[in-house]
Chain A
Amino acid sequence: MMRVNVTVNGRPQQADDVWEGESLLYVLRERLGLPGSKNACEQGECGSCTVRLDGVPVCSCLVAAGQAEGREVVTVEGLAQLAGRRTEDGELAPVQQAFIDAGAVQCGFCTPGLLVAADEMLERNPNPSDEDIREALSGNLCRCTGYEKIMDAVRLAAARQQEAV
């Protein structure tokens, strides 16, 4: 067993008694009380566990906990803060608000992973084409929506982001 130090959503955290083969996803959900990242397939296929590791979107189910030592992780719980909003007000990141407004959330299981992936793309590419959006979200499966509403949500978030500047 080992101890893992990792900064999550801007806060230094410590997890103890971590098994060496454990995933970052497990540490986030079961040891750090952050159940936003979902656990569905544990084999990189669904993207519901997507987090940013040192800024880069990855499947947290495929990151060994020890590989996150000393690194920075952003989960869906940290998106609002990342977007510079005050979470205490219950405000959401623009991409989260857009998902709600566009009706892109049904059962919601895929939503956290999609939000993290979409948010990162919008940061990199503020004016994405439909093709760019599809590509950026191609690692996230949704069983409910048929993706059209999700596309709408990301287009909406991009448009609002453009207006804001």
Chain B
Amino acid sequence: MDFLRPASWQEALAAKAEHPAAVPIAGGTDVMVEINFDHRRPEHLLDLTRIADLYEWEVGERSVRLGASVPYTKIMENLRAELPGLALASHTVASPQIRNRGGVGGNLGTASPAGDAHPALLAAGAEVEVESVRGSRRIPIDAFFTGVKRNALAADELIKWVHIEKADGPQQFSKVGTRNAMVIAVCAFGLALHPATRTVRTGIGSAAPTPVRAGAAEEFLNAALDEGGFWDNGRIVPPSVVKQFAQLCSGACNPIDDVRGTAAYRRHAVGVMARRTLTWTWESYRGARRLTEGAA
């Protein structure tokens, strides 16, 4: 085995071009488990921890440019206002020790259907900027997950930034596990209200071979909110609408039975989380509206 230690992004890209099978290692919280247990014995490990760019973030006008290796702890501490859904999701990852090392780039690299960043990214809206010696491209998050633990990266590409839309309304993240710390999600649900575009977006984790959005549920809810004038009148979303939304979210699942839960349980849990997160976010949307109206 070789341990490649590029000191700059350009060097890292050159190394990946020369050794396309090299395994990048950032926080190592997925890679080292595989090596410790002999599940993986790559010819080359490509250490990304010396590349300062990957630990930086920048808050822009409309989006946050998040370096691939920014650890979850930093996201929780610094980006709660801009990326509330991702900050909540980050907080549910494992333990402080893991959150101090692991980050979104590694979560996307592993592309597990159980990755906690994914539902939050799907709901917020994001693009993954990847680069190789051939150039860079932005992959919309909806096109990023291509199969169980598979993503849209080419062999010579590395993830540099994740561009995440700044929250323009309330966001929530909810996760069902067996215990608080250290759990891989049985299933997870992210929801973001986007008052600017009058849309609602979702993300579901661990309930299908890849993280997915509940497209039909979003369409139904967007239409129902629009028809009822709810974005303007700020009324409570009728229980029948919430119920239908939750059912459609359950229907978006294509889960498997495994040791962590049955398919039926997962579908049920996703419905419950959909109902709760919609209720919570809509309540805070109404609260924020009342405040601005009171001030006006």
What is A's interface to B at a CB cutoff of 8 Å?
A: 2, 19-21, 23, 42-45, 47, 50, 56-59, 61-64, 66-67, 69, 117, 135-136, 138-140
**Chain A residues near B31 (CB-CB < 8 A):** 64
Select from chain B the residue with minimum beta-carbon distance to A51. B97
**Chain B residues near A23 (CB-CB < 8 A):** 32, 36
Stretch from B41-49, B81-89, B158-166 at the A interface: B41-49
CB < 8 Å neighbour of A63 from B45, B95, B96, B101: B101
Please determine whether B28 and A63 come into contact, CB atoms closer than 8 angstroms.
yes
**Chain B residues near A56 (CB-CB < 8 A):** 100
CB < 8 Å neighbour of A67 from B28, B94, B100, B180: B28
CB < 8 Å neighbour of B181 from A57, A59, A63, A139: A139
Please determine whether B3 and A20 come into contact, CB atoms closer than 8 angstroms.
yes
Q: Known: A57-B100, A66-B5. Contact between A42 and B37, CB under 8 A?
A: yes
A63 CA to B3 CA in the complex, in Å?
A: 13
Q: Known: A43-B37, A138-B96, A139-B98. Contact between A20 and B29, CB under 8 A?
A: no
**Chain A residues near B97 (CB-CB < 8 A):** 44, 47, 50, 57-59, 117, 139
A53 CA to B39 CA in the complex, in Å?
A: 26
**Chain A residues near B49 (CB-CB < 8 A):** 67
How close is B122's CB to chain A, nearest CB, in angstroms? Answer: 26
Q: Known: A62-B28, A136-B96. Contact between A20 and B33, CB under 8 A?
A: no
- Residues of chain B from 116 to 165 with CB closer than 8 A to chain A in the complex: none
Please determine whether B35 and A44 come into contact, CB atoms closer than 8 angstroms.
no
Q: Known: A43-B33, A66-B47, A138-B180. Contact between A19 and B1, CB under 8 A?
A: yes
A139 CA to B31 CA in the complex, in Å?
A: 19
Q: What are 24 A-B pairs at a CB distance below 8 A? A: A20-B3, A21-B1, A21-B45, A42-B37, A44-B94, A44-B98, A47-B95, A47-B97, A50-B97, A57-B100, A62-B32, A62-B101, A63-B28, A64-B28, A64-B31, A64-B35, A64-B45, A67-B28, A136-B96, A138-B96, A138-B181, A138-B182, A139-B95, A139-B181
Select from chain B the residue with minimum beta-carbon distance to A65. B3
Is B25 an interface residue, CB under 8 A from the partner? yes
Select from chain B the residue with minimum beta-carbon distance to A113. B97
A23 CA to B101 CA in the complex, in Å?
A: 14
Please determine whether A139 and B182 come into contact, CB atoms closer than 8 angstroms.
yes
Is B2 an interface residue, CB under 8 A from the partner? yes
**Chain A residues near B35 (CB-CB < 8 A):** 21, 64
Q: Known: A44-B97, A47-B95. Contact between A64 and B182, CB under 8 A?
A: no
Select from chain B the residue with minimum beta-carbon distance to A137. B96
Most chain B beta carbons < 10 A, residue from A59, A136, A140: A59
Select from chain A the residue with minimum beta-carbon distance to B96. A139
A58 CA to B103 CA in the complex, in Å?
A: 13
Select from chain A the residue with minimum beta-carbon distance to B100. A56
Select from chain A the residue with minimum beta-carbon distance to B38. A21
**Chain B residues near A66 (CB-CB < 8 A):** 3, 5, 45, 47
**Chain A residues near B94 (CB-CB < 8 A):** 44, 139
Please determine whether B36 and A117 come into contact, CB atoms closer than 8 angstroms.
no
How close is A116's CB to chain B, nearest CB, in angstroms? Answer: 10
A2 CA to B33 CA in the complex, in Å?
A: 21
**Chain B residues near A63 (CB-CB < 8 A):** 28, 32, 101
A43 CA to B25 CA in the complex, in Å?
A: 15
Select from chain A the residue with minimum beta-carbon distance to B31. A64
Q: Known: A2-B3, A117-B96, A139-B96. Contact between A67 and B36, CB under 8 A?
A: no
**Chain B residues near A19 (CB-CB < 8 A):** 1
